Structures are given as structure tokens and as C-alpha cells.
Structure 1
Amino acid sequence: MTPSHSDAAADSTPVPGWVAWLFAITGILITVTLALGSTVCATDASASCPNWPGCYVGRLSPQAHTQPVVEFVHRVISSSIGLFGLASVVAGWLHRRRNRMLVVLPLVALLGALASGVFGMMTIRWGINKFEAALDLLAALISMGAIWRAWFVARRPDSRWHWNARSRLGAAAVGTLVAGHFLAVLVSGSGSLSRCMGWALFVRGAGDGPLVAWGLQQAVMVVGELLTVAVLVARLRHRVSAWDLLLAILVVVVLATGILISAAGAQEGLDVAHAVGTVLILALVMTGTMRDSVN
């Protein structure tokens, strides 16, 4: 996620504020789509809309039931990302002389979102294997990281990425969490919450992969969790912000729901809170690391 500096001040024209707003809206849509995707996974809602792009054959929208509605809203928002992503690429292209990352990063985000959308369509149409599902998640995570980085570049196009103690720690946390989520899709069974971007629950279920692979994934996820807590402590010691307080609340929620799920078993409300909280934690650690790199 480390961008190159813009070409030696070839153009000092300010980047209009609407460009940053466009990137922010696109970033929000991608993040919300990931959160909804984890909800769909945690509630197994994808099967409730068996057709694509409509929910049922001969009917575009779902019946008024929770699961198909969640899945259909997920699809609608996912589809809108293509338009906003394309608009972001065009906006970046118009101001590419200010910083070439203004077009490179939105393009990466658009390609990641399109790849994830194709995998989503394949899932409904004829199904995908675990490796393809892991690539689907990775593409979406890359897309989210790229567009949020583009937002920071649009706000401060002359800034360089500075490696300091907090940005290094944050980058390590992001990389480890992404690796843990990627591995979770590969080794988790269809009934495991880990595949829905959950944190390590240490509950081995039917259909989970070989014990060694499953244990490795849980270990990687634990390291990511510990690094996340370390990032949070480092930021709170440096300067307390509303975003870091939100991160602290989400960490508590995810840990608490994880303990309850491990002890009492899966419950839809807890599963959704755990999975969505995990997505938002990753987004906040990502964006916080980007913020730390320019402070």
C-alpha cells in the first residue's frame, strides 16, 4: 500500500474536494459491501436468493424475509460499486499530474471490486471452490485498502508514506489479519464462522480442514489480533481520537461475542455482530495505519 511520490511537483494545482468525497463514498460502499458479505456468510443468506442478478427466476426483488433481503441489498450495493469505482478512476485520471496514485489506486480498487463481483456471480450460478472463494475475499480487501489510500492521497497529494513505529505496527497488523482471513476461507468448513471474517474462536467444527492447517490459521489470526490490540494501545497513547475509541469498542465487542459463541455455540445475532465487527476493525486498522504514515 506504499505509493510513490508524485512527479517532482510537475503540477501544484490543488485536487478539488469533490475528488476526495468521491473516493470516500466509494470506500464506504466497498466497506459496507464487505460487512454485508460477512453478514450473508454468517446467516447463510446467499442460498435464499438462488438466481443472479435477480433474486428468483422471473422476479428481481426478494420476498420480505430477512435472509433474502440481506442478500439482495448486498448485491445492489455491490453493483453500485462498479459505477462509483469507474467514476473514481475518471476523476483520478483528470488529476493524475498532481499524483499518479490518484488514478492507479482507484483503478486497483475498481479491478478488485469487479473481480469480487464476478466471483460472487459464479458463487450463485454454479458455485466456486475454496481457493476461488479466498481470492474473492482477497480481491475485495485489496479494493478496500486501495480506495481508502486514494482518499488520503487526494486530501494530501504531496505527502509521502513515512515509516514510523505506529505505521510499521499497523502494516504488520493489516498484513497478518488479511493473511488470517485468507487462510480461514481455505481451511474452514461451510458451518464455520471463521470463513465469514471472524476472529479465532478455537472451535473446530465439522468440515474444517486438516488439523495442522486449521491450527496454523488460528495461530496467524491470534497474532493479527494481538497486533491489533498493540496498534490500538500505541494510538491511544499517542493521541485519542474518535476513530480509535470506535476501534476499541469494536475490539471489545468482537472478543466478547467470540467468547460467547465459543462457549454457547452459534447464534445468528452474535454471529453477525462478530463478523461485521471484524470487518470494521480491519477497515479502521487499515485507515489508521494510512493516517499514521503521514503524521
Structure 2
Amino acid sequence: MNKVFFDKTQNVEVSRITSDGWWLENTLEHVVKGTALGKDFTVNIYKPSSERMIARYDRETDIWSDEITNRTLDEYFNQHGQRFVIGSPDGDYPEWAITEAPPRYDKSTQTVLHINKQWKVFDILIGQSFFDEYGNEFLVSDYNFELPEKHTFTKPPELRLDNYAVKLVGGQWQQLLDYRGEMAYAKDRDNGTDYQIEELGELPETHTLSAPEPFDSWIDKGWKYDIERHRPFKVGEEKQWRDNELTKVLDRIDQYEKDQNYPVELRTSPIQTNEDYLRLLQDRKNLSVYPESSHFPFGERPSLSGLAN
């Protein structure tokens, strides 16, 4: 639009606009004869229909746009409570914008954070001690600190007893027996399981700290030798001994019997007499019936001639 120069000095009713055409206000502008209005004024007056309504002036066509709600001063916040405004009449919130204002808080001692769709005020605790459930101490090093589960700001008590340690139970410190690192032995050795202790507290009634001997059973509140627990191991041990000895005896008998078919000068068996041969046969019998003896496997082993060695 061409500039209009005034033919006399006068006060002119104008709409003042921004550099990009947005209406600012209606006012009177004093103009001098022979001059024209600047780019930030127009005599094409726009009057908002209500508060917060605004329009935009097109200098080329001398036409005002349709009215819109002026969002220039609409405020929003980031997750840390920092305030922003949209800054332009036709602007919009960024995707991350939080439109709900944070609650009042003391910025010198507190912070605010928007989490889980709501504002939360945090005391500034940097440098303060807190403790895990076993009394280990840590220092707060972050803003917006939330005490983790099974932690407390309360210092644990001094220990007064040996073999005890502190533990946080239900938010309260307790002094509990400390067997951590030791072995817990199942009293029921057939169905229970031994394990290394990792937690504080009393042992369950099913276990004990006392280690059993290989063939012990828990009898009358303590470990005692159990012959029935020993029996299957002893049976295997004695049968293996019997089998080894019987093999040697049978080999010696076989050697002697075969030698009888050879000339004397070609025989290799150390058995020289029939009496020794009969003694070997007795060894064979004694070894064969040994597992059926009444005191097997805990009785005495059969006495052997030693001729098979």
C-alpha cells in the first residue's frame, strides 16, 4: 500500500502494530503536515471484540485477518518448574510443555519436579547421610532425591554384642545374629539341603551350624554316628574288597589246575602241594559266602591263607 502524506498537522486515530503486523493498541498519533505514518501505525482501525482477542494487519492489502485468541503471554513450564511464555499471538506449546503451574516452594532449600503427571516438591539434601538396610552409609549427591526402598536417614545403633549385625526391618533398626558366610547344615540329611548363609537372623529349626561327620544323623538334638547311614557305603566297600580277593584266589586256583596237565619242569604255579590247593579252595568258599554272613558288612573279614598273593 502506498504511503499517505497528510496535508495538515493533526492528531490521527491509529492502530499501532508490530513489525510483523500484530495489533498492539489503538491510540492518537500526532502527525505533521507533509509527513506520513510510520510502518508501525495504520489508520485502518482494528477493535478487538473482547479481551485477549487479536488480529494481524496485512500492509500490502490493508486488511486485518480474522480474530484469534492472543497466546503471547500464555505460560508453560518444563519438568523442573522453569517458566516460559509462548511469545507470539499464534504460537503453541512445545510437545514437552507442562501447563499446570508448580506449587509454591522455597527455592533456597527445595526443588520441584514434575513426575508421574504431577508436581512434587523435594528438600535439597545434598551431602546428607543415608543408610541401606545393613547400615552401610551413603551421601546424597543429587537434587530431587528420593530415599530408595529399604533405606533410612536414621543412623544405625552401635553394636553391643559379638556375632550380631544391624538390619533395617519394617523401618526400624534391629540387631540380629550374623552367621553370614558360614554353612548351615540340614538336620534331615536325606531330604534337606545345606547352604551358605547370606542373611542375618536365627537359623531355621531345620538346620544347624554344626557340621556332621560323613555317617552322622541328627539324633536327640545332635549329630551321632548312624550305622544304617554307614551300611550302604560299607557294603560297597566290603564287596569290592571281597571281589578283588576272590579274583586273585580264582586265578591262582585256575593256574594250579592247568599246571597239573604239564610236566613238572614246565609248571609255573607257586602252589606245590595238594594241601595248599585245598587251602585255596577254602579261601574261595570263605570269600563267596562272606556277603551272606550274619555280621556283614561290619563283622570281621574272613581269614585267608595268603597263597593267592
Q: TM-score range by the shorter chain?
A: under 0.3
Relative to the length of structure 1, the TM-score reads 0.17
Larger relative contact order (C-alpha < 8 A, sep ≥ 6)? 1
Larger helix percent: 1
